[in-house]
Amino acid sequence: MGEKEIGRISHYYGNLSVAVVDLTGSLAVKEWVAIRGATTDFEQVVKSIQIDHRNIESAGKGQSIGLMVKSKARAGDRVYKLNGD
């Protein structure tokens, strides 16, 4: 699978399992992402994206989004969009 970096995590809310991602690329619901860092390495499908506590279908470069994650993430972790290459 190919991957392209689309953002970095600026904050992680462990009680909600939500990562705040500052996007440098686009992301949409139902796309696959990988989150990687010094001690972080997992892949998941995007089930929901939020901005200001409102669900949206997609977001783009320059936006900060809330992304529900299946595992612990850390500030500074990189977010990659996966494709079927």
pLDDT given for residue 83 in this prediction: 85
Report pTM.
0.93
Kindly state whether residue 62 falls inside one of the protein's structural domains.
yes
Residue 80 has pLDDT above 90, yes or no: yes
Kindly state whether residue 84 falls inside one of the protein's structural domains.
no
pLDDT tens track for 12-26: 999 999 999 999 999
Residue 4 has pLDDT above 70, yes or no: yes
Residue 61 belongs to a domain with what CATH number?
2.40.30.10
Report how many domains make up the chain: 1
Domain extent for 49: 2-28+37-79
Chain center to CA of 81 = 8
Kindly state whether residue 18 falls inside one of the protein's structural domains.
yes
Kindly state whether residue 57 falls inside one of the protein's structural domains.
yes
18-57 burial, b if ≥16 CB within 10 A, otherwise e? Answer: bbbbebeeebeeeeebbbbeeebeeeeebeebeeeeeeee
Kindly state whether residue 61 falls inside one of the protein's structural domains.
yes
